[in-house]
Amino acid sequence: GAGVSQSPSNKVTEKGKDVELRCDPISGHTALYWYRQRLGQGLEFLIYFQGNSAPDKSGLPSDRFSAERTGESVSTLTIQRTQQEDSAVYLCASSSNPGGLPYNEQFFGPGTRLTVL
């Protein structure tokens, strides 16, 4: 079946512009995660959705970052007034994990590479 997809695959934007990154999880997966990977660093957790709710937003780095999920499916990560330090690969993952269990496998998308000039 189809895996996790993300769009766009690459995004180049100018400092100060807003960007939207999209994630389509595996159908039926209730849990959805966003992570960020900056150059030379590991993946950083950003936000966790269970259904359409986000019980854990602890990783969002500033109030310029927001995310939503609709229909227990598609999620959008929005970055307002982008800064150069926002340049990174943004990864989405989904999991059939209705209880937020800590040992369920996460399935990752290919990522969106964001470059802020």
Partner 1 sequence: AQSVTQLDSQVPVFEEAPVELRCNYSSSVSVYLFWYVQYPNQGLQLLLKYLSGSTLVKGINGFEAEFNKSQTSFHLRKPSVHISDTAEYFCAVSDFSSNTGKLIFGQGTTLQVKP
State the residues that interact with partner 1 by CB under 8 A: 3-4, 31, 33, 35, 40-45, 48, 50, 55-56, 59, 91, 93, 95, 97, 99-111
Q: Which two tokens stand for residue 23?
A: 């994630």
Q: Which two tokens stand for residue 86?
A: 């926002």
- Contact assessment for residue 33 and residue 59, using Cβ atoms and an 8 Å cutoff: no
Give SS3 for 10.
strand
- Contact assessment for residue 89 and residue 114, using Cβ atoms and an 8 Å cutoff: yes
Supply the DSSP symbol for 25: P
Q: Is the peptide bond before 8 cis (omega within 30 degrees of 0)?
A: yes
Minimal distance, residue 61 CB to partner 1, in Å: 15
Minimal distance, residue 89 CB to partner 1, in Å: 10
> Based on CB atoms, which residue is closest to partner 1, 32 or 82?
32
Minimal distance, residue 105 CB to partner 1, in Å: 5
> Based on CB atoms, which residue is closest to partner 1, 21 or 82?
21
> Based on CB atoms, which residue is closest to partner 1, 48 or 116?
48
